[in-house]
Amino acid sequence: MEGVYLYKDLSYKIVGICMEVHREYKNGHNERIYHKVLEEKLKINKINFVVKPKINIYSKETGNKIGYYEPDLVVEDKIIIELKAKPIILNKFEIQLLEYLKSSYYELGYLFNFGLPSLYFKRLICTNNHKPYINSLR
């Protein structure tokens, strides 16, 4: 799929909104403040989202449901969003988001860290063609 940017327009909007939140609120607040402001801005922009949804996680061997994760947000039933407000970048949060993607039918996720002087974000992808156990579930 060379040249295809997964959910390009929606991604652009989400990143822009998060940049706006960081520009307005800087990096000194608790994660829940950024969460609430982001929810507010998504509503204003008429972007659908679910807060703390339970996303099913499937066995890579059998395809059976083995549990669930609760990411911070799922936007338009397409993109998982994880928010942090840490003064450093921690790879464990990227690994956590990647595991959400590997074990669910979602293919795209963003990690946003509002706790730094500049907004940090990471776009992670794990397409469903790499998850044969998922393809028959949705």
> 67: which strand partners?
57
Rg (CA), the chain: 15
* Mean pLDDT, residues 38-66 taken together: 93
Question: Which of 1.20.5, 3.40.1350, 1.10.3720, 3.30.40 is the CATH number of 8-130?
Answer: 3.40.1350
Pick from 18, 15, 24, 29: nearest CA to 87: 29
Percent of the chain with pLDDT over 70: 95
Q: How confident is the model at residue 1 (pLDDT cuts 50, 70, 90)?
A: very low
Q: Which pLDDT does position 90 carry in this prediction?
A: 87
* Mean pLDDT, residues 17-33 taken together: 97
Look up the pTM and report it: 0.92
Pick from 117, 108, 126: nearest CA to 15: 108
> How many angstroms separate the Cα of 129 from the Cα of each of 2, 107, 114?
14, 10, 32
Residue range 66-96, pLDDT digits in tens: 999 999 999 999 999 999 999 998 899 999 9
